[in-house]
Amino acid sequence: MKFSQRQRILPVEKAIQRESIDDELKNSLWSLLQLFYWDIYNGSRYVPTGRGDFIKGCNMEPLITSLWLHYYKMPIDTVPKYFNECLDGLRKYFFSAEWYEIYDFVEFVAIKGLGERQDNFIKACNKYLERENSAYRFVNKQLTEITSAEEIQSIEEAIANASPFPGVREHLEVALGLMSDRENPDYRNSIKESISAVESLSKHLVGDENATLGAALKRLEIEKDLHPALKASFSSLYGYTSDADGIRHALMGQNSLKKRDARFMLVSCTAFINYAIDLVSD
């Protein structure tokens, strides 16, 4: 987590970009279009008018023609004569488009673009979509939602609901920040902070700061009718954090944790926190 976020000068990054695209993600996707397609323009060496960036006969002609016919659905005679003019129009459209139109455009280029570059373009897009915490990835050459609105809502509600409980909100914010850090994500410690949030809340709810998570869950089961299956599931998750890649103990061996592991733990823990707070409020 960045200094500015730890000091709460700037907000912690949102868990997932769903139904939105921020400037950093938009810039990244355009840069990939530039690197994989626009920069490899190869026009005719014959320059009768003093410029050689003709679209007709160039390697980009099939893609641009497809864009006009099938994406924009514009008359083909409105295609600009010169590639640089066409590129200016594509750029203007891209940076003024709605979030879903940007994804439509990127997906269209991924499918209709030059075959030999297609796979690497899709791989690069997925890398940047993950880095910028997008809720979408290319799956079988189609952009697909991989994180539900319910999961995102669970995280945001838990952070808001935990405000009355000292330490719980901080654990969640740190977990989110460590998972979402674009430059240096720390999934191991994100998982640790997520389960620590549950542990801290459980201690608050039973009024015993010295209670272990297992003991606190047992008391919630007896005193607040916490379902035994829920108690067992979170006891198991606590055990996982004690064993998997040395999350709560000394790191042993190579760290194989992925973003999906940290996201699963954060979503699971926030769902429990929301449930537990509602449980004791009844």
Q: CB–CB of 185/191 below 8 Å?
A: no
Residue whose token pair is 């991989």: 146
Is 1 part of any domain?
Answer: no
End-to-end CA distance of the chain: 36
Q: What is the mean pLDDT of the chain?
A: 83
Instruction: Give the model's pLDDT for residue 100.
Output: 94
Band (185; pLDDT cuts 50, 70, 90): confident
Note whether 155 and 275 are same-domain residues. Answer: yes
d(CA 166, CA 188) in angstroms, rounded, equals 23
Q: Do 164 and 70 sit in the same domain of this protein? A: no
Query: Is residue 15 situated within a structural domain?
Result: no
Residues 102 and 33 in one domain: yes
Distance CA 133, CA 248 (A): 25
What does the pLDDT read at residue 142? 86
141 shares its domain with 203: no
145, 160, 177: which is the final residue of a domain? 145
Half-sphere exposure of 189 (CA within 13 A, CB side): 11
The amino acid at residue 259 is K
- Residues β-bridged to residue 143: 138
- pLDDT tens readout for residues 22-51: 999 999 999 999 999 999 988 755 455 566
* 218 lies in the same domain as 245: yes
Q: Does 127 fall in a domain?
A: yes
**Residue in 243, 236, 188 with CA at minimum distance from that of residue 213:** 236
Query: What confidence category does residue 250 fall into, taking pLDDT thresholds of 50, 70 and 90?
Result: very low
The domain boundary residue, chosen from 145, 166, 187: 145
In a domain, 79, yes or no: yes
- Higher-confidence position of 203 and 128: 128
159 and 125 part of one domain: no
Tell me the Cα Rg of the chain. Answer: 25
Q: What is the percent of the chain with per-residue pLDDT over 70, rounded to a whole number?
A: 84
Domain that holds residue 106: 23-145
pLDDT score of 119 more than 70: yes
Question: Cα angle at 267 between 10 and 132, to 5 degrees?
Answer: 45
Residue 128 lies in a domain: yes
Query: Would you say residue 180 lies in a domain?
Result: yes
Confidence of residue 254 (pLDDT cuts 50, 70, 90): very low
| 49 backbone φψ class: left, alpha, beta (φ>0; ψ -120 to 50) | alpha
Tell me which of 83, 118, 145 is where a domain ends: 145
Q: Is the predicted pLDDT of residue 264 greater than 60, yes or no? A: yes
Tell whether 129 is covered by a domain. Answer: yes
More confident residue, 10 or 147: 147
- Do 68 and 74 contact (CB within 8 A), yes or no? yes
Could you give the count of Cα atoms lying within 13 Å of 43 in the half-sphere of its Cβ? 15
Q: Give the Cα separation of 4 and 134 in Å (integer).
A: 22
Percent of the chain with pLDDT over 90: 32
Q: Report which residue type is found at 161.
A: N
Per-residue b/e over 107-128, b at no fewer than 16 CB within 10 Å?
A: bbbbebbeeeebeebbebbbeb
Contact of 164 with 47, CB cutoff 8 Å: no
Same domain, 159 and 190: yes
pLDDT at 189 over 80: yes
Q: Please report whether residue 106 resides in a domain.
A: yes
CATH code of residue 185: 1.20.120
Give the mean pLDDT of 137-143. 85
Strand partners, 276: none
**Co-location of 193 and 256 in the same domain:** yes
> Are residues 154 and 138 part of one domain?
no
> Is there a single domain that holds both residue 159 and residue 226?
yes
pLDDT category, 109, cuts 50, 70, 90?
A: very high
pLDDT at res. 251: 41
- The one-character DSSP state at 15 is S
- Are 43 and 158 contained in the same domain? no
Our count of domains for the chain comes to: 2
Task: Please tell me the predicted confidence (pLDDT) of residue 253.
Answer: 36
Least-confidence region, from 127-131, 152-156, 270-274: 152-156
Note whether 175 and 276 are same-domain residues.
yes
